[in-house]
């Protein structure tokens, strides 16, 4: 499992939400992942979207 945190005004937030809702593959650092969970962390300027990513079956991760 990999956890990433992104700024709320990032275009990645839209992509993560679409992939999470539609069970589509999200590509991070050139590797395919399924988004298994989305959470909002922090308040104000420290707000981040935390996404939990699981590798697509059969894909090796480093």
Tell me: pLDDT of 59 over 90. no
Is residue 40, in this structure, part of any structural domain at all?
yes
Residue 42 is assigned to a structural domain of this protein: yes
**Given this model, what pLDDT does residue 2 score?**
95
Domain that holds residue 15: 2-55
- CA-to-CA dists, residue 32 to 26, 56, 58, 61, angstroms: 6, 6, 10, 10
60: CB partners within 8 A, 6+ apart: none
Q: Look at the chain and report how many structural domains it folds into.
A: 1
Residue 60 has a pLDDT of 59
pLDDT tens-place string over residues 9-43: 999 999 999 999 999 999 999 999 999 999 999 99
Q: What is the dihedral of CA 54, 56, 57, 62, to 10 degrees?
A: -70
Region class of 11: left (phi > 0), else alpha (psi between -120 and 50), else beta: alpha
Give me the pLDDT at residue 57, please.
81
Q: Do the beta carbons of residue 16 and residue 24 sit within 8 Å?
A: no
Q: Residue 43 falls within a domain, yes or no?
A: yes
């Amino acid at each position: 499992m990999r956890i990433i945190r992104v700024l709320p005004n990032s275009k990645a937030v839209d992509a993560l939400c679409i992939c999470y809702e539609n069970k589509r593959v999200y590509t991070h650092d050139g590797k395919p992942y399924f988004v298994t969970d989305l959470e909002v962390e922090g308040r104000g300027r420290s707000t981040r979207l935390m996404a939990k990513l699981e590798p697509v079956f059969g894909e090796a991760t480093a």
